[in-house]
Structure 1
Amino acid sequence: MKTVFDVFSKAVEAYGDRPFVHIPLSAAKSYSDSAIDYTYAEASREVEQRRAAYGAAGYGVGHRVAILLENRADFFFHWLALNALGVGIIPLNAEASPQDLHYIIYHGDADLVVSLPEKMTLVEEAIALEQESEHPPLCSATLEGLPPATRPALDHIPDTATECAMLFTSGSTGNPKGCVLSNEYFIAFGDWYRNVGGYCELHPGEDRLLTPLPLVHMNALACSTMGMMGVGGCIIQLDRFHPKSWWDSVRDSGATIIHYLGVLPAILLNMEPGDKDKAHKVRFGFGAGVNPKHHAAFEERFGFPLIEAWAMTESGCGGCVIASHEPRHVGECCFGRATDEVEYRLVDDEGNDVDPGLPGELLVRATGDNPRYGFFDHYYQNSEATEEAWEDNWLHTGDIVREGADKSLYFVDRKKNVVRRSGENISALEVENVLLLDPAVDTVAVAPVPDELRGDEVMALIVAKAGKTAGEALARDIFDRSMEQLTYYKTPGYIAFVDELPLTASKKLKRGDVKSICAKLVEEGQAIDLRHLKKRPKKD
């Protein structure tokens, strides 16, 4: 098999009458009066219809289409149709600001943007921000209105090296980087999930995997989707996490697997216990970031293990480590032991291997002749960042990890200047760049602070401009203005005003000191708490 479409086609042949995708009513109620279901055979017909339309419009290898289709069945149909033609996709977040969408669409060199009709205004606002391009990307809200490609496709048959998707991930630079992911990346992820075994053994033709995670991220797009297609399983795709209807969705959908992020167990544990807490078919949860204090309590209350794993968009499955076998070291931030397919090192700031038991930056690569098998291809239009990430032919993850006596790996902290809030990687520099434009802000430093529900929260240390009165009113004004420029989850959940920021002799921020100061101010109640204002925009 050379493409994601090949994997799907094989599943159609073997499991045609089995369910492929299920959208519960709780996730579809904004656009449907009932739950949505497609078998593999039914989905195949939908894919072929779209494949024919895109092909007739001239799209093929070398083209890239941005799709804003939320977590709907149509997302899968468009993606598979485009992949069959060799077209790469850029999944767009419907909750992103026009500024964020503008950057992704133009930096990603999208030839076409396909959107839900009700989101076309958002797309048009994003495109209207461009002042230099003489040829803005084409847009379409319907398959029938698909505009023809403005340049010819390459004369090439799609294969494992063909671009499948470009996912944007925030790192230590101000703007997100476009991770180019090949067909090989996705196929390898499906193979990995099918073979991981242990607590995560998959049952061909039977498993039903429920995920609330967005299809704009690697976990839902590559891991759960490819895992299910590889064994003829059903993808139960929620629009997002709904705490009140969560267990009803789990039970009514017959889910046997759930995917989670750390915020999910925390919220579910805070709900009142009930006599139906274990009335489900779930065998295991697969995810990352569960609060150590919640891990054992969740498993005891709800009756299934939460299997912690480590991966990042760049590592794909090539560097993935998962605690799918004992010892899992529940409640200790353990994500398992590396298999024979993964090599790793833990190094200090000078690149030297740390002594056993001490924390160091995690470096990973695949064993064998191709150390980059299963990893991302490159950062789009950023060869310097690609080379930096792959220095000495090891992927530098930016995560601080320690190794236990039994070779189990434990997450310690993040070296990179990233806030990871509810699964979203947020660049501190990106938030700083927006806040620096605020008329009330002189200088600013942004850092993550611990949040029991969301893992991290965004905090800003601000030196106010002369004449501005520091306090809650000013913090609220700054927050409100940041909401106009940033996607809601990137805005500061805490603001604290300070007289000066910690700087080195060369006037660079002491990032470690900033992080410590922020944590202390929150702990002592001296930071202005704005978390209640961080709300996703209402749907149109």
Structure 2
Amino acid sequence: MANTVHQAFSLAAVRWARQPFLCILQETADIYDIPAGELRYAEAAERVEFLRSAYAAAGYGHGHRVGVLLENRPSFFLHWFALNALGVSVVPINPDMRAAELEYLIGHSEIALAIALPHRHDDLKAAAAKAGRPLRVMGERDVPPDAPFPAPFDTEPNVLTECALLYTSGTTGRPKGCILPNRYFLHAGQWYAEIGGLAGLREGCERMITPLPLVHMNAMAYSAMAMVMTGGCLIPLDRFHPRSWWDSVRDSRATVVHYLGVMPAMLMKAAPSPADRNHTVRFGFGAGVDRTLHAPFEARFGFPLLEAWAMTETGAGAVIIANREPRQIGTSCFGKEEADVLVRIVKDDGNEAGAEEQGELLVRHAGADPRYGFLAGYLKDEAATEEAWAGGWFHTGDIVRRDAEGYLHFVDRKKNVIRRSGENIAAVEVEAVLQQHGLVKSVAVAAVPDAVRGDEVMALVVAQDKPADRAAMEAAAADLVNWTLSQLAYYKAPGYVAFVDALPLTTTNKIQRGELKALAPTLVDAPHCVNTCAMKKRQGDHK
């Protein structure tokens, strides 16, 4: 029985030595400027061992943290497994992060080393200098530099050793670092391997394609570990490309696809084709599909989209999936919990919600350890950890309802989060950056509906000097967006900038979020609102 992710991979490499572990399609290879083709388990294991020895020789060990900014490249997995063998925790770094975000992540996580693409080395060094942290930076093929400080522990890593530190978007402040032990990843892989039903995985047979980023738990914990546990082949794409998606699916011979809700919506916009069912996909695993498109998508493309619920914090300790019929397609149903997951739905008054009543979803793992499979805690924030576990249940912040047959349905997010194309965006984080601009007197950020991305970001700005005309307004809006793009990931930048005379405030000068939420959508087509969506582009991540 494996106690670490590295051990699980090593066992798989022995059993499935000649089977492909990774498949890199030509399109992905061209974008990343790497070779296309398949990497067998045995070949990957040899590379992992080479890297492990190099890191050990450089002094990295149990308790160190290492940042990884390698996008969805094969080297991400090889470095992760090699570092895990030594008890080093990896901190995936979103390639869309910019100055302010990198400074916070480096300072908060205290990473000793960053493995990054060459064109981001200077960014990381500058952020580390501002954070006051000693940081080594290397490329994916470089010899590791000596560790800047000794490994904190001299013990062997085990199932409870920190494996990764994943950051989530804070809704009322800075992003929180989720401490994820080896057990988190091992349990996620085992859960997927055993869940069965319409999501049943066949050993040594599956080929799973995912465009989801390795900085999120879905690709790291579910996709990668499910393939490791079953001897399957993972097909990571750089990201989702609607026009070439079905070519990628067909060329890779994928049997399982992982999706975000925005993907089916984009794919359904293409004209129907006789080739729509020309693929080998057995099922899709994801969340957030538009309820009105769920049934039409399955009818057109010929495979089920299995809606699931989980969080970075819960992992597979409390994952729920609609993997058995009836799935109640078109109702935002994500199934029923299995016997190893306990669920409560609690109304605002603290009482249990009845059938068809809405309330916050509270979860825990069944058995003696309610936190089994969950995060170990939030880094440097014990108070937030205990608050999340108030009363012995994890408070998810999601509003759901249970129907008369016991099926769970997603309703909405309780917290004030903007969710754009699967990314959670904290309004206060964007506000903090915009407030630094000289043009801004005060600012509030809210979500407005977007037909493709779910939500889009709107900034309501009270200017120091209100723009005199439309041309000045457009120039000011562009200046604000460019400033945000220099500090934050592109998707967090405003897609709309509305210049207003005042913000809805409480008597203590705090933003009235409820009123703001209702106001923002009414301003999209207003004369004093500028549409800046076209400016929201990735900032040269492939070089």
Aligned to 1:504: 506
For residues 94 and 314 of structure 1, what CA distance do their matches in structure 2 show?
22
Farther off after superposition, 191-200 or 109-118: 109-118
Aligned to 2:304: 305
Aligned to 1:110: 111
Aligned to 1:465: 464
Asked if the contact 2:356/2:403 (under 8 Å) is kept, the reply is: yes
Aligned to 1:90: 91
Q: Secondary structure at the match of 1:43?
A: helix
Measured after TM superposition, the shift of residue 89 of structure 1 is 0.4
Aligned to 2:50: 49
Farther off after superposition, 4-13 or 228-237: 4-13
Asked if the contact 1:174/1:433 (under 8 Å) is kept, the reply is: no
**Matching of residue 284 in structure 1 with residue 283 in structure 2:** yes
Measured after TM superposition, the shift of residue 294 of structure 1 is 1.5
Asked if the contact 1:291/1:452 (under 8 Å) is kept, the reply is: no
Aligned to 1:519: 521
- In structure 2, what residue type is equivalent to 1:71? N
Measured after TM superposition, the shift of residue 262 of structure 1 is 1.1
Distance 1:526 1:410, change over 3 A: farther
Measured after TM superposition, the shift of residue 445 of structure 1 is 1.6
Q: Secondary structure at the match of 2:266?
A: helix
**Matching of residue 213 in structure 1 with residue 219 in structure 2:** no
Aligned to 1:23: 24
Asked if the contact 1:360/1:402 (under 8 Å) is kept, the reply is: yes
- In structure 1, what residue type is equivalent to 2:150? P
- In structure 1, what residue type is equivalent to 2:146? P
For residues 177 and 299 of structure 2, what CA distance do their matches in structure 1 show?
40
Measured after TM superposition, the shift of residue 404 of structure 1 is 1.0
Aligned to 2:396: 397
**Matching of residue 486 in structure 1 with residue 488 in structure 2:** yes
Measured after TM superposition, the shift of residue 33 of structure 1 is 6.4
Measured after TM superposition, the shift of residue 82 of structure 1 is 0.5
- In structure 1, what residue type is equivalent to 2:490? Y
Aligned to 2:4: 3
Asked if the contact 1:179/1:314 (under 8 Å) is kept, the reply is: yes
- In structure 1, what residue type is equivalent to 2:312? T
Measured after TM superposition, the shift of residue 532 of structure 1 is 1.7
For residues 60 and 14 of structure 1, what CA distance do their matches in structure 2 show?
27
Gapped regions of structure 2 (runs ≥ 5):
none
For residues 337 and 506 of structure 1, what CA distance do their matches in structure 2 show?
43
For residues 486 and 33 of structure 2, what CA distance do their matches in structure 1 show?
31
- In structure 2, what residue type is equivalent to 1:96? M
Measured after TM superposition, the shift of residue 300 of structure 1 is 1.2
Measured after TM superposition, the shift of residue 31 of structure 1 is 4.1
For residues 224 and 63 of structure 1, what CA distance do their matches in structure 2 show?
25
Cα deviation per residue 1:379-417 (whole Å; 9 max; x = unaligned)? 111111111111111111111111111111111111112
Q: Secondary structure at the match of 1:517?
A: helix
Distance 1:321 1:438, change over 3 A: same
Measured after TM superposition, the shift of residue 173 of structure 1 is 2.7
Aligned to 2:184: 185
For residues 436 and 468 of structure 2, what CA distance do their matches in structure 1 show?
18
TM alignment of 1:26-425, pairs within 5 A:
26-32=27-33, 34-130=35-131, 133=132, 135-141=133-139, 143-153=141-151, 154-425=153-424
Q: Secondary structure at the match of 2:484?
A: helix
Asked if the contact 1:21/1:73 (under 8 Å) is kept, the reply is: yes
Cα deviation per residue 1:323-378 (whole Å; 9 max; x = unaligned)? 11122111111111111111111222343323331211111111111101111111
Asked if the contact 1:262/1:453 (under 8 Å) is kept, the reply is: no
For residues 409 and 398 of structure 2, what CA distance do their matches in structure 1 show?
10
Q: TM-score, normalised by structure 2?
A: 0.95
Farther off after superposition, 461-470 or 351-360: 461-470
Cα deviation per residue 1:239-281 (whole Å; 9 max; x = unaligned)? 1111121111100110000000011111111112221111000
- In structure 1, what residue type is equivalent to 2:10? S
Asked if the contact 2:500/2:528 (under 8 Å) is kept, the reply is: no
Farther off after superposition, 79-88 or 464-473: 464-473
Cα deviation per residue 1:45-64 (whole Å; 9 max; x = unaligned)? 01000001011111111111
Measured after TM superposition, the shift of residue 216 of structure 1 is 0.6
Distance 1:353 1:469, change over 3 A: farther
Measured after TM superposition, the shift of residue 219 of structure 1 is 0.3
- In structure 1, what residue type is equivalent to 2:537? K
Farther off after superposition, 513-522 or 254-263: 513-522
Farther off after superposition, 526-535 or 438-447: 526-535
Q: Secondary structure at the match of 1:168?
A: strand
Measured after TM superposition, the shift of residue 85 of structure 1 is 0.8
Asked if the contact 1:68/1:116 (under 8 Å) is kept, the reply is: yes
Gapped regions of structure 1 (runs ≥ 5):
none
Q: Secondary structure at the match of 1:157?
A: coil
For residues 151 and 128 of structure 1, what CA distance do their matches in structure 2 show?
17
For residues 523 and 275 of structure 1, what CA distance do their matches in structure 2 show?
39
Aligned sequence identity (%): 51
Distance 1:402 1:281, change over 3 A: same
Q: Secondary structure at the match of 1:235?
A: strand
Q: Secondary structure at the match of 2:22?
A: strand
Q: TM-score, normalised by structure 1?
A: 0.96
Farther off after superposition, 258-267 or 98-107: 98-107
For residues 398 and 493 of structure 1, what CA distance do their matches in structure 2 show?
26
For residues 139 and 84 of structure 1, what CA distance do their matches in structure 2 show?
20
Aligned to 1:454: 453
Cα deviation per residue 1:483-516 (whole Å; 9 max; x = unaligned)? 2222110001122223222223333222122111
Farther off after superposition, 136-145 or 465-474: 465-474
Asked if the contact 1:171/1:416 (under 8 Å) is kept, the reply is: no
Cα deviation per residue 1:432-490 (whole Å; 9 max; x = unaligned)? 11111122222222122222211221122222224444743432232222222221100
Please tell me the root mean square deviation across aligned C-alpha atoms, in Å: 1.7
- In structure 1, what residue type is equivalent to 2:84? N
Asked if the contact 2:48/2:81 (under 8 Å) is kept, the reply is: yes
- In structure 1, what residue type is equivalent to 2:377? H
- In structure 1, what residue type is equivalent to 2:520? C
For residues 230 and 429 of structure 2, what CA distance do their matches in structure 1 show?
40
For residues 351 and 54 of structure 1, what CA distance do their matches in structure 2 show?
51
Q: Secondary structure at the match of 1:360?
A: strand
Measured after TM superposition, the shift of residue 21 of structure 1 is 0.5
Aligned to 2:537: 535
